[in-house]
Amino acid sequence: MRLSIVLFCGIAAVSFHGSAAVISFTGNLQSDATVLACGSGCTLGPGNSDSDFAQWAAVVRTFAVVVTSTMQAITFSYGGGVNGQGAAIPQGGFEPYLSLFDSGGAFLASTFPGVTCPPGSHTNTVSGQCFDVLLNGGTLAPGTYQIALTAFENLSFAENLGAGSLADGFTGLGNLAPGEDLHYAFDVILTPGATSTPEPSTLAMLPAMILLVALWRKS
């Protein structure tokens, strides 16, 4: 059974660390949902448990690359930490999984071969584990991209089948372990390449352009 994409309107904020633009997203897998569908004949709602949302739901966020940049994304909410805005993120979120797609929904990268406990993440003091992840998106050309956050094992069909797109949905195999909740936090980090330095006028527009697209919700 294929899952209809679940879209979210979680909080996004943009900061700049040197030449890198950092887009920070925070929210909750259940309360942020604007589309609550888990396949044919199945609709998630108030009567569903946190485990149901962890199994089926996905946060799908859109961001813009204004100039050719290397891209990384890092999660903070499983073990806690400090995001790109300097906000303290509590531990105890679900074990995350990140997937990257282009504007048309074609699969680009994920944390399947990813890095556990990347720099800036912490070990969860309850489980003794560090399941936060780092996605390395490589070098991205200017354009619009989409990033999906799910509970681990709720992978996209586009990735699993080797074809298709984000619109094909997810496997519905996510899980929520005891002591975990549905809050999430992750940063998208864009670092312009040394050979792709924009003109000063473009640099001046960069914060506003990224902010506008980062806060845009796919409908």
Average pLDDT over residues 87-99: 95
Average model confidence (pLDDT) for the chain?
79
What phi, psi does 208 have (nearest 5°)?
A: -65, -40
Alpha-carbon dihedral of residues 133, 138, 139, 145, nearest 10 degrees? -50
Residue 182 has pLDDT above 80, yes or no: yes
Evaluated on CA atoms 72, 76, 77, 82, the torsion sign reads negative
Q: Looking up tokens 């195999």, which residue turns up?
A: 173
Going by their DSSP bridges, the two strands 11-17 and 96-102 should be labelled as unpaired
Evaluated on CA atoms 18, 78, 115, 101, the torsion sign reads negative
Average pLDDT over residues 160-172: 82
pLDDT in tens, 185-207: 999 999 998 443 333 333 333 33
Residue 136 has pLDDT above 90, yes or no: yes
- H helix runs in 112-189, sequence order: 157-161
Counting Cα atoms < 13 Å in the Cβ hemisphere of 152 gives 17
Residues in the chain: 219
pLDDT at 145: 96
Residue 1 has pLDDT above 50, yes or no: no
Instruction: Report the distance separating Cα 192 and Cα 68, nearest Å.
Output: 6
Residue 17 has pLDDT above 70, yes or no: no
Q: How confident is the model at residue 163 (pLDDT cuts 50, 70, 90)?
A: confident
pLDDT at 212: 32
pLDDT in tens, 103-125: 999 999 999 866 777 776 788 88
Residue 171 has pLDDT above 50, yes or no: yes
Residue 183 has pLDDT above 90, yes or no: yes
Q: How confident is the model at residue 18 (pLDDT cuts 50, 70, 90)?
A: low
pLDDT in tens, 41-86: 677 777 888 999 999 999 899 999 999 999 999 999 999 999 998 9
pLDDT at 170: 85
Q: How confident is the model at residue 149 (pLDDT cuts 50, 70, 90)?
A: very high
pLDDT at 208: 36
Q: Looking up tokens 């200017």, which residue turns up?
A: 142
pLDDT at 205: 37
What phi, psi does 168 have (nearest 5°)?
A: -75, -15
Contacts of 162 (CB under 8 A, 6+ apart): none
